Structure 1
Amino acid sequence: MEMHDLCAIAARETHCVLATAIKVEGHAYRKQGVSMLLTEDGEMYGSISPGCLESDLQARVSHVLDTKQMEFAEYDMRPEDDLSWGETIGCGGLVVVLLEPVCDDLRFILQKMHESFQSGTWVALTRTFQDDYTRVEYDWKRIEPAEKRHQPVLRPALVPPHDRLANDNLTSLQVDVQHSSGNLKHEHTESTQPSLDAELPRLTLVPEIPTSDAFSTNPWDLPQQLTSLYTPKPRLIIIGAGNDVIPVATLSQSAGFRVVVADWRESLCSLERFPGTELVLGFPAEIMPLLNVNNGDYLIMMSHNFPRERELLEMLVDCEYAYLGIMGSKTRTARLLDGLPPLKHVHSPVGLSIGADGPEQIAISIAAELIACKHKVSALSSGVVEKGSVAHANDGHRSGSR
């Protein structure tokens, strides 16, 4: 579950806490910067661990909500001889979690972030710790889409770390911080900028200014400023609303895509069949202006109607997009593309080559390929595929079955 979903859930949950892994060292289930929501009545949305930490985090929720103060919680699972965590710990790393009551100002920020995500806008959320980590200031800012700066979709220009985020959409807030007690360990790590290829959300680390009592208020050597950069959900446009599209839409939503189903058949293109998706009804010439395809979009042709798909492909010639999957054999795809200028990012047959059989397994192969392309993972990127490895799709036509 990503921040887009958490922001939407926070809007309906009146008493909840945002938990964020602000420091991760060693092996851990999730990466630094990931968040989850915990409610007063015991509901959990998202995860930080495979289940090792969530019960303890949930036990802190009432106190955080009662005091309306933030807490740091440390989980140090690195010592091999430390049996205090029992047999449920399978990570062996250090995780420092920041728990924030979702009320007043933070709730307002999450609402604005949700609105930004809905409009397809990037968001930077900055926490600046002050007064020796006893107070925190929030900044948030909408970031211009990467395509307007002619940069790859997953490589936005990060906000300069030593500068305050400032524009018309900026909100600055102050909230008191409370530290949880416990046996604290001091581990020094250098503050670094995240790799441009790192999985989002990312944390931009700003070196802290040493103080005389830094170890009493900041035992984990946290940077003074943390900036998390979040992108909108990538949009997956599926052309076709047949029965085989249903599992593809369901799995793609679970994989973090904003799914749009487009078809000219009203009886098939319905919310009863595709709950939680956006529906666009019409023939290719009618839906293309509505879709406004851009370079962050993923498209899949699954209508099984040759003339309609050919018509739509002709209109995609001058469009920018991230992925174009075509359902069907290589022969059918070759006929569809015959006479057209070369199209970009074509994946055909659509889906990873996992030997899939039947709609559900084919949907899994498609969802897996979408995830691989989203994170730019490709076994063919180096031009070499080892024997027995799973082949990911690349540009152009791909041989082999799913």
Structure 2
Amino acid sequence: MDMLDILRAIRQLEQPAVLATIVEVEGHAYRKAGAAMLLMGSGETIGTVSPGCIESDLLERVPAICEANQYEMVEYNMKPDEDPIWGESVGCGGVIRILLEPVEGELRELLLAALEQLNRGVEVRLSREIRGQELSYELCTKDTAVNSTSNDWQYSMTLTPRQRVILFGAGLDAIPIYHLLTQSSFRVIVADWRPGLLASFSGAEIALGTPERLEGEIQLYENDAVIVCSHHLHYDREMIHMSLANKTRYIGVMGSSKRINMLFEGDTPPANVKAPIGLSIGAEGPYEIAVSITAEFIALRKEWQNQEHHKEARNDYIRHLFGSGTEQSDGQTEAAARAFPGLSARQYGASCSIG
């Protein structure tokens, strides 16, 4: 579950709802800053901010927040030696602060604009500022400079598109791979030339065709990952060659050492190829193999994110060292206006805490 699921639910909302976002963590906690959940007036929830220990308390706050149309800042102290209400029973050992916001009006417009950009593969940043009792929002692309003018409180969260995975091969062993990757917040496109096999992937993004045809159907990008598991030697080799030609960041190949040797005609696979795919955990059978593949992808996603953050930090240092060009008189407002014209929001609310 990630923010994309919450945004999709907001798009379908037909009832009052509150967005709960962890904005600060001190010490240990089940979820980190940026984790969010959607709390609906009906009592339904999407996402998590704890193992389930504070959700009921958050839900009780929903009617008052929606009625007043005001944000609320709450604090939960999970330290057993400081808070007899939460700490002893929860035992997480930290303090978390959660921002609760009614999802309506211009805030909802901003969130839906963020969803539209994420669906296009564009990373965005949502910033919140409190000035006195006023809560304001700005949405911009990640490369747009934002100048904070708040003296009270400011929080920004980056919303990242899901890692795209092309799953080539729609056999029975691909079904658990698809489900586990999808449930782990990857965007999976299932590709195969056999329509009968693709019929097993109800609701999935699918692409019908051999690799030669898929080259015109699917535009492969450098940030894509590809899983090759059609078990057809000729087509698997074609898919590998196409992925290499498009310089995709990762190509995972399923199969035995003998089959992999045949696919690469005895040559050592390139550095961006993992063959056989998956973590070495002694997996047997389709489901366990799918677990090993999903675990590897989760680890790789974190590694790729760290690489991107390192690259961004280096670029920020270079810009600071050599100058960053013309500055706008109101950088934050101008940034949002350029990226998403007309989309900004201001709300008023009171802050309180418990614990």
Partner of 1:251: 180
- Aligned equivalents of 1:356, 1:73: Cα separation in 2: 44
Amino acid across the alignment from 2:171: G
Partner SS for 1:38:
strand
Residue number among 295, 298, 301 corresponding to 1:374 in the alignment: 301
Q: Say if 2:55 is the partner of 1:47.
A: no
Amino acid across the alignment from 2:45: M
Q: Say if 2:25 is the partner of 1:24.
A: yes
> Root-mean-square deviation (CA), in Å?
1.9
TM-score for both structures, normalised by structure 1: 0.72
Partner of 2:337: none
**Aligned pairs (5 A) from 1:62-73:** 62-73=63-74
Q: Say if 2:256 is the partner of 1:329.
A: yes
**Aligned pairs (5 A) from 1:253-402:** 253-270=182-199, 273-338=200-265, 343-376=270-303
Amino acid across the alignment from 1:162: N
Partner of 2:10: 10
Q: CA deviation at 1:78?
A: 2.2
Q: CA deviation at 1:357?
A: 1.1
Amino acid across the alignment from 2:2: E
- How many residue pairs get aligned? The number is 303
Residue number among 153, 162, 169 corresponding to 2:147 in the alignment: 162
Unaligned runs of 5+ in 2: 305-355
Amino acid across the alignment from 1:4: L
Higher relative contact order (Cα pairs below 8 Å, separated by 6+ residues): 2
Q: CA deviation at 1:311?
A: 1.4
Q: CA deviation at 1:90?
A: 2.7
Structure 1 stretches (4+) deviating beyond 6 angstroms?
Answer: none
- Aligned equivalents of 2:266, 2:165: Cα separation in 1: 26
- Aligned equivalents of 1:30, 1:302: Cα separation in 2: 34
- Aligned equivalents of 1:344, 1:283: Cα separation in 2: 25
Q: Deviations over 1:266-302 (max 9, x none)?
A: 11112xx223420000111111222111122111011
Cα distance change, pair 119–341 in 1 and its aligned pair in 2 (3 A): farther
- Aligned equivalents of 2:146, 2:112: Cα separation in 1: 24
- Contact 1:258–1:277 (CA under 8 A) maintained in structure 2: no
- Aligned equivalents of 1:68, 1:3: Cα separation in 2: 22
Cα distance change, pair 84–341 in 1 and its aligned pair in 2 (3 A): closer
Amino acid across the alignment from 1:376: E
Q: Say if 2:5 is the partner of 1:36.
A: no
Partner SS for 1:141:
strand
Cα distance change, pair 63–347 in 1 and its aligned pair in 2 (3 A): same
Amino acid across the alignment from 1:297: D
**Aligned pairs (5 A) from 1:87-236:** 88-130=89-131, 132=132, 134-143=133-142, 160=145, 162=147, 209=151, 224-236=153-165
- Contact 1:300–1:325 (CA under 8 A) maintained in structure 2: yes
Q: Say if 2:227 is the partner of 1:242.
A: no
Partner SS for 1:127:
strand
- Contact 2:130–2:154 (CA under 8 A) maintained in structure 1: yes
- Contact 1:19–1:100 (CA under 8 A) maintained in structure 2: yes
TM-score for both structures, normalised by structure 2: 0.81
* Aligned residues with identical type, % of pairs: 40
- Aligned equivalents of 1:25, 1:276: Cα separation in 2: 41
Q: Deviations over 1:221-256 (max 9, x none)?
A: xx6321111110011110000011111000000111
- Contact 1:21–1:97 (CA under 8 A) maintained in structure 2: yes
Higher helix share: 2
Cα distance change, pair 341–352 in 1 and its aligned pair in 2 (3 A): closer
Amino acid across the alignment from 1:266: P
Amino acid across the alignment from 1:37: L
Q: Deviations over 1:299-322 (max 9, x none)?
A: 101100001011122222321222
Cα distance change, pair 81–73 in 1 and its aligned pair in 2 (3 A): closer
